[in-house]
Structures are given as structure tokens and as C-alpha cells.
């Protein structure tokens, strides 16, 4: 059976309101940081606030709400939360690497220089006459 939202018990309403406001305010803070931060490599950090606990808070609120109103355990919001949590690092790492590539190709000065290939792992493959 499905209850109307007005018949929600008080503890459930408070929990839903808390998680909803928590998630929404974290998302807003992330968006403000996204607008304010000066360079691209700093800006890429800000929206992850919305994709981690912003999504987590809103999904927890939705889970509590639908579990209480339909009086059974509703966990299909976990699907969205898991999907966003898994895909956001992939997306942002691809984007950051693309931005690094472009900045290096155009010498804009934002990107750090590439390290010189002087690691000992790469030298071991070479033939060293001093060893014999």
C-alpha cells in the first residue's frame, strides 16, 4: 500500500528533510566553487562535491522516503549512486588528461612540464659495457 506524503511519521520526515538539504547544499557549494576557482585544474575538483555527497544525500533521502511510504525496503536508488560514484572519476580523469595534453601542446603555461625519462627502470634495459 502507498501512503500519501502527508501521512509520513515525524522521524521519517525529519530524516528525509535533513538528507535532502544536506545533499542539495553540498551541490550548491560545489557549484559556487566551480564558478569561483581561477584555473581549470582547480575547477575540476569542485563539482565532485556534488557527485559524491550531493548524490549520496539526495539518494539516501529518496530511499528513506520511498521505503517508509511504500512500507517495504526500496533500494533502487543505490543503482544511481553506485553508477555516479564509479563513472565520475573515469570521466574527470579523461578530461584532465585531455586538458593536460592540450595545454602542453599549446604551451599555455598552466600545465607542468613532463619529467625527463631518467628513471632507473628504463636504464636497465640498456647494455652497459662497464658491467663486463
* 91 contributes a contact to other proteins by CB under 8 A: yes
* 56 contributes a contact to other proteins by CB under 8 A: no
Whats the size of the chain, residue-wise? Answer: 132
* 30 contributes a contact to other proteins by CB under 8 A: yes
H helices of the chain, where? 10-36, 40-43, 48-49, 55-69, 77-106, 120-123
Query: Are 68 and 7 spatial neighbours (Cβ–Cβ below 8 Å)?
Result: no
- 106's CB contacts (< 8 A; 6+ apart) are none
Q: How far is the CB of 111 from other proteins (least distance, A)?
A: 12
Site of interaction with other proteins (CB under 8 A): 2, 4-6, 8-10, 12-14, 16-18, 20-21, 23-25, 27-28, 30-32, 34-35, 40, 43-44, 47, 50-51, 54-55, 58-59, 61-62, 65-66, 69, 76-77, 79-80, 83-84, 87, 90-92, 94-95, 97-99, 101-102
Amino acid at each position: 500500500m502507498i501512503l500519501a506524503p502527508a501521512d509520513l511519521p515525524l522521524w521519517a520526515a525529519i530524516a528525509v528533510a535533513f538528507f535532502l538539504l544536506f545533499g542539495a547544499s553540498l551541490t550548491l557549494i560545489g557549484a559556487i566553487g566551480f564558478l569561483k576557482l581561477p584555473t581549470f585544474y582547480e575547477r575540476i575538483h569542485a563539482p565532485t562535491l556534488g557527485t559524491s555527497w550531493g548524490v549520496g544525500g539526495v539518494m539516501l533521502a529518496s530511499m528513506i522516503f520511498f521505503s517508509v511510504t511504500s512500507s517495504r525496503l526500496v533500494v533502487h536508488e543505490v543503482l544511481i549512486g553506485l553508477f555516479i560514484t564509479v563513472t565520475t572519476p573515469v570521466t574527470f580523469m579523461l578530461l584532465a588528461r585531455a586538458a593536460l595534453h592540450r595545454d602542453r601542446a599549446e604551451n599555455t603555461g598552466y600545465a607542468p612540464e613532463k619529467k625527463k625519462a631518467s628513471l632507473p627502470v628504463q636504464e636497465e634495459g640498456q647494455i652497459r659495457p662497464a658491467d663486463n
